[in-house]
Chains A and B, each alone.
Chain A
């Protein structure tokens, strides 16, 4: 029973964090850009939301402001990379580290509780209670997670099917071709970074409200969690190739990651060891497909050798 409850919480967390994983997916996979802004922009999302809510701005509006703030963070990384010609990884790290100070400035302190304030989670919970539907906060979070994941996937699916979206996808494949087809690759990267970090800040906003607090340290390792979701999704749903299904795979990967975490915590692992565990999961998920294909190739070679010998 206790574990089932933990799974419910895991699904809720997985859905909320999958918005971050989707943002990471855009840069890492679609654009082939190693964007390290994530840890910073995620926290920015939570901090902006917290400070908005504390100052009496409606939570749903706070969410939109966070989205905007994340977009600006992405734009800064894009500017550093495009205009100052700083390598992509370093550009992201510079934004990330400067966001640490900026997030402290936004919040005015290291963390901000939201327990006594309204969030979209409490609002929905109260709304449902009024019509006689009493749901646990995890179930409410699952509903909200599903709503936002659906919106994000639909919007991204639409956008990356448009003319601009198509040329952004092509940029991740082949920059030389994109320039030969008359598109400035600086612009395409810029747009993709803005969209990706908007998603990531949205995730930060949602997670902050769900946890009932924003903390300037909450984004540490967020990038690895996003990556874990992406690779778990890819390992489990290896055969999907369509863009829409790949995004769904990322969401599933995010939920599975959270269930794994819930499981090992139940088994008595200390939360302090979680980051290490996450890194090991990512390393394994990246290593296993390679190991399997190498093993298969070896098998095929042995089989071929035996057939030649028998013949």
Chain B
């Protein structure tokens, strides 16, 4: 479904800060995969996601989505195929706009926007229903400005927005990292539920290794801009956090996870 070939990205080339963040990375994602991505700080996890959706251009390599090379397309043109949820709950929504308006913007992701009214009555009904599935009581707050919602609520709404019209690939960039443990758990379970119900293909970066094991059908570990471990199916289900830590020590040559990763 999505194929990444020899992808390379260097930040600040030619300066003292030069850093090779993605180094000849190869990855094959099949339709229906729910892949969790772990790795230390600076391993290139977020960069990989940003390269896939085009936040910045790759230096080299190919990104092939459903047979089409997309690595040279601008970000807004790729958006029709990707649903995204960011780490910062403020980044996925427009604070000064109503909940319903935000959903309406997302409902038109990748479509041509014209001069018809920004939101229709039937849509409101649809949004009410979809918000109800979150179980956060947001279905009664369609006309509230998003800025009035808590971080967790905003992140749940962003998740809904990203999946409102099924994306080819859902990209989750540590989307629960900024939330308190309880809310993170709720949003994570919602993520699982939505991906399962809509049979989405997803890539989820997380710092929480237990979550990386519990969710999805495949797990990849990254280090120094490349994938050092790739496991799926029953073998993944059997993993324990200690196994991952040990594997990381062996495979990364001992650079080690920080304590903060033992979430």
Enumerate chain A interface residues (CB-CB to B < 8 A): 159, 161-167, 169-170, 172-174, 176-185, 241
Contact = CB atoms under 8 A, between A and B. Distances in A.
Q: What are the nearest 10 A-B pairs in CB distance?
A: A182-B79, A173-B94, A166-B118, A182-B110, A163-B113, A170-B94, A181-B109, A184-B76, A162-B115, A179-B75
21 contacts: A162-B114, A163-B108, A163-B115, A164-B113, A164-B115, A170-B97, A172-B96, A174-B94, A177-B93, A179-B55, A179-B76, A180-B53, A181-B110, A182-B76, A182-B77, A182-B110, A182-B111, A183-B76, A183-B113, A184-B74, A185-B76
B95 A166 contact: no
A272 B119 CA distance: 50
Interface stretch (B31-39, B98-106, B215-223, B244-252): B98-106
Contact of A180 (B79, B104, B145): B79
A128 B55 CA distance: 60
Nearest to B83: A180
Given A162-B117, A163-B108, A167-B105, A179 B79 contact: yes
Contact of A161 (B82, B91, B93, B117): B117
B96 A173 contact: yes
Given A169-B97, A181-B108, A182-B111, A163 B92 contact: no
A21 to B, nearest CB: 19
B15 interface: no
A177 B113 contact: no
B53 to A, nearest CB: 7
Contacts of A182: 76-77, 79-80, 108-111
Contacts of A181: 79, 105-106, 108-110
Q: Chain B, interface size: which category?
A: 35 or more
Contacts of B113: 163-164, 166-167, 183
A198 B83 CA distance: 36
A181 B111 CA distance: 9
Q: Could you say which of A174, A176, A181 has the most chain B C-beta atoms within 10 Å of its C-beta? A: A181
Nearest to B114: A163
B68 interface: no
B251 to A, nearest CB: 33
Contacts of B90: 174
A166 B104 contact: yes
Interface in B48-106: 53, 55, 74-77, 79-80, 82, 84, 86, 90-97, 101-102, 104-106
Given A162-B117, A181-B105, A183-B113, A174 B91 contact: yes
B101 A166 contact: yes
A179 B94 CA distance: 12
A161 B105 CA distance: 11
A164 B114 contact: yes
Given A164-B113, A184-B74, A176 B118 contact: no
A179 B252 CA distance: 35
Contacts of B145: 241
A165 B118 contact: yes
Contacts of B86: 176
B211 to A, nearest CB: 23
A180 B84 contact: yes
A161 B97 CA distance: 11
